[in-house]
């Protein structure tokens, strides 16, 4: 877990967490490590990112990669030291109707842009109630 991209990303999404909350978005992270490692990792995320707000969303432990496999997040070309496929970086937006509204998969080496994700959430929420296009 303690990779630079993961640590900065989870800290970065904490910073605008109030913006996600205003939109009714529930944040959840998924990790392929055990719950015990998350406790130390969260402290690292808070310290590295200078988070005065703490850390407000759950990290789900998926050490057997069951959830990652179910959502198609395993990268067959990237494997850890044990030969187990690594997960890609993913974003899923699931609507109030429990249907998938957005799926973004990034390579493990590339961080996500949470300003863009907020923009997409705004667009999804607008177009769910109005027959309009939302360019930018």
**Residues forming the active site:** 6, 97
Q: What is the DSSP string of 70-100?
A: HTT-EEEEEE-TTSPEEEPEEEEEE-TTS-E
Plot region of 108 (φ>0 → left; ψ -120 to 50 → alpha; else → beta):
alpha
2 CB contacts (<8 Å, ≥6 apart)?
41, 44
Strand-strand pairing, 85-87 and 89-94? unpaired
């Amino acid at each position: 877990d303690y990779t630079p991209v993961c640590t900065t990303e989870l800290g970065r999404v904490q910073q605008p967490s109030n913006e996600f909350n205003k939109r009714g978005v529930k944040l959840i992270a998924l990790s392929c490590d055990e719950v015990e490692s998350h406790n130390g990792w969260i402290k690292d995320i808070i310290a590295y990112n200078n988070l005065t707000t703490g850390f407000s969303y759950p990290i789900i432990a998926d050490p057997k990669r069951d959830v990652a496999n179910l959502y198609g997040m395993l990268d067959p070309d990237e494997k850890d030291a044990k030969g187990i496929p690594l997960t890609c970086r993913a974003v899923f937006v699931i609507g109030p109707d429990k249907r998938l509204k957005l799926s973004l998969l990034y390579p493990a080496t590339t961080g996500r842009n949470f300003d863009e994700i907020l923009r997409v959430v705004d667009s999804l929420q607008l177009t769910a109630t109005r027959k309009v296009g939302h360019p930018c």
